[in-house]
């Protein structure tokens, strides 16, 4: 009976150590990225290594550092509503943007009476998105930004761009 109890406790101890290890790795990764961001030396590789939620939060912090005010997040869509100079903007930031993401973004803009927006794609996007952007009414002003464009938005970024989407 004691052997069984010791075996159960060692399994529990193993899982606790595993959780501590994962938390430590996550913290070190976040600290490394935070340091690069604060020193304005982030690369495309750094952006592509962020988790979806880290990338989304990073993009919002980039815009707020440029004077945008965050108004609200829209559920789990990676869409946020920002404001600058009394004008509302919507941003969508993901690693890969597909047609479904695009339609959600346009629908969110319409529901919130917003005509200005940014689509930030780190790795790539469906070719159909370019066609859809050109078919939007003229009152929509949506900019499609690549990872190169995003990095160039950062003031004093010392990283040299090596590739684009």
The pLDDT-based confidence of 41 (bands split at 50, 70, 90) is low
pLDDT at residue 161 is higher than 60: no
For residue 31, pLDDT over 70 is answered with no
Instruction: Tell me the chain's radius of gyration from C-alpha atoms.
Output: 20
Residue 137 burial by CB count (10 A; 0-12/13-18/19+): exposed, middle or buried?
exposed
- Mean pLDDT over each residue of the chain, to the nearest integer: 79
Residues 73 and 13 in one domain: no
Task: Verify that 54 and 2 share a domain, yes or no.
Answer: no
In this prediction, residues 28-40 reach a mean pLDDT of 60
Question: Is 164 inside any structural domain?
Answer: no
Q: Beta partners for 89?
A: 82, 116
Range of the domain at 24: 1-38
What is the value of pTM for the model shown? 0.68
Same domain, 118 and 81: yes
Q: Per the structure, how many domains does the chain have?
A: 2
Q: Are residues 8 and 34 in the same domain?
A: yes
Query: Is 67 contained in some domain?
Result: yes
Compute the distance between CA of residue 20 and CA of residue 14 in angstroms, rounded to an integer.
Answer: 10
């Amino acid at each position: 009976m004691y052997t069984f109890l010791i075996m159960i406790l060692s399994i529990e101890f193993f899982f606790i150590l595993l959780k501590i290890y994962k938390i430590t790795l996550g913290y070190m990764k976040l600290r490394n990225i935070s340091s690069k961001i604060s020193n304005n030396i982030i690369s495309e590789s750094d952006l592509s290594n962020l988790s979806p939620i880290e990338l989304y939060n990073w993009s919002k912090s980039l815009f707020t550092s440029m004077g945008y005010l965050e108004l609200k997040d829209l559920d789990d869509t990676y869409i946020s509503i920002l404001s600058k100079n009394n004008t509302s903007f919507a941003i969508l930031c993901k690693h890969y943007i597909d047609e479904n993401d695009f339609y959600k973004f346009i629908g969110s803009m319409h529901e919130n009476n917003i005509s200005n927006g940014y689509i930030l794609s780190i790795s790539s996007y469906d070719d159909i998105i370019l066609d859809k952007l050109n078919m939007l009414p003229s009152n929509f002003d949506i900019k499609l930004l690549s990872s190169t464009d995003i990095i160039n938005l950062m003031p004093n970024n010392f990283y040299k761009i090596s590739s684009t989407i």
